Structure 1
Amino acid sequence: MSNTKLSVATLTKTGRIILALNLIQALCAFGFAADLWLEFPDPSFWLSLDRHDFAHLGSEGFLLGMTLLGFALARFAMRVLHKDRSALDSKLTSLKGEFDSILQEHFERWNLTPAQRDVALLTLRGLRLSDIAHHRGSAEGTVKAHLSAVFRAANVRTRSELVGLFMEEFLDFGAISHAQRTT
């Protein structure tokens, strides 16, 4: 289980819905328990109950039990959702770190300059040449020259091929990681 505490702020929309249902169930359980207490307050009165009273008591007791069971199951579901979300967040953080290391390994192997690395990274993020130029404070021609150098170093001709090169390696890494976890 994660170290993060379960709170309303960390819940997803589904978690908030489950929490709302949980609160409704708690109110219903309280209502059933109060109704039972008001109708049958004295245990000595229970000895004089007829079949109709027992059926009434049994049905309300059953409804109270089912409401409490629903409450417990909803709490369990919230904990499972929170645990799963924490695990996914952890995996995403790990994958982001691995992707960054894959990028840096390629950039080093290709002997890219810092400017070329920056242009390559912004290109992989999907920015247009004009946006990259604006972001870097340089001319579009300079960005094109840097991007051409990146393409030559990567042995690709287009942005799609550059993205594909990293996606292929990233997916291979994911397949290897999955195979290692399952063996």
Structure 2
Amino acid sequence: MTAKTPTVTPDRRQIGLTLMILFQCACVLFFVADVAEDIAEAGWAAATDIHLLPELGATLGMILGIAFEARYLLRILRKQAQMERQVSVAAGALNEVMEGYFREWKLTPSEQDIAGFTIKGYSIAEIAGFRGSAEATVKTHLNAIYRKAGVTGRGQLTSLLIEDLLRAPLVGEAPLVPQDRREPA
């Protein structure tokens, strides 16, 4: 079993915010060109003109708004990257916990596949469909898995792994099988 790396896709908020920033940049360029044209025609004395002051204020406000939105967008992107790294670490840790237990329980490759699908929450019918086997075969494998794991059902199997994951150190550190479940050396 291998952990899949999540696909990074921008969400609607990020796309919307990026489009809004681009639109506002176009508007700022228009306002800056208009103000520059007004100043070029009337000179710097036009800066006190009642018509030009609101344009200057609006332009400055849009520039500040763009700066704020760009900063916010960068913060969102950093937070998303951090969360994706955390999910990846957690997925890797869960995968290590699962593989450690599968070795300890001496599950066959078929049992490992079925246990993995079971932990992910798939139904017996779905697992049978994925594997191209009969539901009775999946049930037989599940009974063997539960017996080898010393649990009575799906809930206990999943909670055993999740509980161990919550107690486990980061991926790549000490063994993930708890002391009371290890074989004596």
Return the match for 1:109 from 104, 110, 117: 104
Q: Please tell me the residue identity of whatever aligns with 2:135.
A: E
CA RMSD of aligned residues (A): 2.4
**Greater displacement, 139-148 / 107-116:** 139-148
1:20-169 matched pairs, under 5 angstroms? 20-42=19-41, 45-47=43-45, 53=49, 55-169=50-164
1:29-68 residue CA offsets vs partner (Å, 9 max, x unmatched): 122212212322157x334x596x1x44333222211111
Flag the 1:144–1:40 CA change in 2: closer, same or farther, 3 A. Answer: same
1:6 corresponding residue in structure 2: none
Count of aligned positions? 163
SS in 1 for 2:161: helix
Displacement, 1:10? 4.9
CA shift in 2, pair 1:137/1:61, >3 Å: closer
Aligned counterpart, 2:18: 19
Structure 1 unaligned regions, length at least 5: 1-8, 178-183
One-letter code aligned to 2:31: F
Tell me the percent identity.
28
Please give the secondary structure, in 1, of the residue aligned with 2:40: coil
Gaps of 5+ in 2: 1-7, 171-185
Distance across 1 between alignment mates of 2:47 and 2:93:
71
Q: Which amino acid aligns with 1:46?
A: W
- Single out whichever of 107-116 and 136-145 deviates more from structure 2: 136-145
Whole-Å Cα distance in 1 between the matches of residues 44 and 122 of structure 2? 76
- The one-letter code matched in structure 1 to 2:105 is W
Quote how far apart the aligned CAs of 1:135 are.
Answer: 3.0
Q: CA 1:40–1:87 in structure 2 vs 1: closer, same or farther (change >3 Å)?
A: same
| CA 1:39–1:121: 2 relative to 1, 3 Å | same
CA contact (8 A) 2:39 2:47 kept: no
1:69, CA displacement in angstroms? 1.0
Q: Tell me how far apart the structure 2 counterparts of residues 72 and 108 of structure 1 sit (CA, whole Å).
A: 54
TM-score (norm 2): 0.75
